[in-house]
Structure 1
Amino acid sequence: MAVLMLEEQGNGSKPPSRARVLIAGLIGNVMEWYDFALYGYFATVIGQQFFPSANPTASLIGAFGAFAAGFIVRPLGGIVYGRIGDLVGRRRALTLSVIAMAIPTVGMAFLPTHAQIGIAAPIAVVLLRLLQGISAGGEYTTSIIFLAESAPDRQRGFFCIWGLWGSVLGMLMGSAFGDLLTRTLTQTQLGDWGWRVAFAMGSVVALTGVIIRQGVGEDNTSNKTKTPLSSTLGAHRTAFFRVLALNIASSVGFYAVYVYLVTYVEDVDGIADSVALSLNTDVMAVLLLLYPITAWLSDRIGRRPMLMGGAALLCIGALPFLQLIHSQDPQSIVRGELGFTLALAVVDGGKGPANVELMPAEVRCTGTALAYNLAEGWFGGTTPLIAAVLIARASGNPVYLAIWVALSGLCTFVTAAFFTRETAFKPLLKQAQPQQC
């Protein structure tokens, strides 16, 4: 059987196994999204301690505002780490990003509250989120490029999905750990120190990532361009805008469902914290099971059918799915969340490899990172804040949020249907050529 290997540069050491390549590609995403998930799930506690207000909704909006700040700067991180990936190498960008992400994660665990240091507390939260956003800006896109360029031509979808699988695993770990804490600690303990333990545990994931990414091979950057950013926004701007639009539906849908709606069913529907986190953990486990299936399917039928089908379901199903979630009945909530989960799984099965295949090799890291992070940061990352404002104005009715999610699905559907060529069945020009034995 053919075993995928990366080229070593003159040291004669044994190339890494396929399993190690896949783990190296996904581990940083576990770290990144574990931290982001924790922030979203403990947004109510963080709002009370760092953004205190007599109005609980104002505290929550303040917490989600800081959450959104980390996403707004993600394009800057994409430019920085994308340039490193294009000019120096994919593995070096991946190693640097996972080290840098550990700093704000652990920093949140030891940050003094507003009651202790006053206005400096919310400022520090925002600064940590900004650092997190910059560090994470190149992680996911560089990882899927690393995986796609290491894959056989007809398996790129299956390889790419493990970067996203790591992201969801990180969120699942954050959700599961949050669920464990809410079940074992009192509300006072959870607010005083329990949430801090969850952030401190992120250091273990970071250390694991640094160790695994050592020795997975270097990159051949002989076809690099000296100006990847200007080339992306110049000669390759059509590809850049296409990739950006293809990522909008999944970005908005993901943060609406797996970050904001946890808080929504708690604060608006009156569902207990432990129940909300437990339901969220269950549907994210389903998403993990669906990802390899939809990725395998995208290798068989193509990227466009997956993108169009998932985006259409997100567009048409947004309102009925949200009405089920607003029902206050746990079984109906699960059905609504599962509807969103299926739509996102189908979109994501084709999205990852399409991002890599549509971007020219010489600007692949920079172009993909900038496009993805604009969609993820400016559309997806701001969705919890937008949702909180829309829901507050609608007195808990999710109809305006449904319109926002449906419009994101429509954007991706139109782009995939009318402005995107099929790329699944063509060879990929690679920076790092794999060997087979």
Structure 2
Amino acid sequence: MSSSAQTTIVRGRFLDIQSLVKQAQQIPDQVRYLEDGVLISENGKIKWFGTWQDAQPHLPENIEIQHYPEQLIVPGFIDTHIHYPQTEMVGAYGEQLLSWLNTYTFPTELQFKDPAYAQNIAHFFVQELLKNGTTTALVFCTVHPESVDALFEAAERIQMRLIAGKVLMDRHAPDGLCDTPQSAYDDSKNLIEKWHGKGRALYAITPRFAPTSTPEQLEKAGQLKQEYPDVYVHTHLSENKDEIAWVKSLYPEQKSYLDVYHHYGLTGQRSVFAHCVHLEQDEWQCMHQTDSAIAFCPTSNLFLGSGLFPLKKTWEQGVKVGLGTDIGGGTSFNLLQTVSEAYKVQQLQGDKLSAYEALYHATIGGAKALDLQDQLGNFNVGKEADFVVLNLKATALQSLRQSRAKSLDDALFALFTMGDDRNIEATYIYGQCAYQKTE
């Protein structure tokens, strides 16, 4: 190891899922737990991972070992759908999706034309992600290019992997939030050239949802995807029944809501559709055939009364899925709390969500949904060193519950059920500690 390389050594209890699986039942076979493990990162990548005993020949001299003997270290949490401009409007009362957008969301997003305002919220947003153990996120900005610059600049300062993009919206919104098909294309193209692949930044073509884009604008979005095939597409799909009816009235020539996006070339390996609560069978088939992904956002689906997402069906249909907090329709930045609500959503449908399956969706499964499974999601050598140090006993009640834990998955389930930002002891981004709990 080069002495000039930026090297970090972390010792503690490590837990991850070693590889992708095709059925939830296969996940326990891939659980990797090291009671006394060591992770060595060099220049942001995992150089070596294994037991403390096996690590001895690999430990470089004169580098302090960061030791977390009581905590649990897991891969960084991956949030596959979140809106950074909605950070300040979390917990807005009393509306369902369409009236919620008009009453709360659009007035809030108008403020992001001001670069200083956008920078202030972007900084706050990135800090909230870190405090909650989220190390990668797929993020909606606003229609303003300034909002995208502010977010990527805030992430760049700590070498954080974010995927984000400017919203495309040319109808059914306030004048100050509307672009045109051509300006949406031009602004997005400039931002792709500026940010995509710069450091750890990745770009997403981001139509808000089909009702707020004309056919001409979706055509331009599809043109961008053709010209830049390795960028992402990030939008909403089948969140709310009134929304679905609206889409069908606006696009009567397409056979379904998803078919609108598919028609314009917006499905595919790096296309992520938030919600998908009410998909029809042909839409499930299209999702599978195009290798598109779903972001499951339980706190938002419950808060806005949208419905219960059938997580079990993603396994049955072979569709990629990750977890999304969907701030600010969602009610927490924290993926532990998001998992807790996901469990309840499944219970209401007569299904279960195990602790290991939840960990899978929050880490390596989320990485797969973002087509980043070769770079993120577990502790395999060569991957980017993003991970979270968890305190399983952050409260007196948690401590009591953990003292009764019968097994590792029982302890993990209790964490997911009772956990929140108080459980995040430290967050490491690209091998460096980017957040450390102080109190």
Q: Same fold (TM over 0.5)?
A: no
Category of TM-score, reference length = shorter chain? under 0.3
- Name whichever structure is richer in strand by fraction: 2
Q: What TM-score does the superposition give when structure 1 sets the normalisation length?
A: 0.23
Greater relative contact order (Cα < 8 A, sep 6+)? 1
Q: What TM-score does the superposition give when structure 2 sets the normalisation length?
A: 0.23
- Name whichever structure is richer in helix by fraction: 1
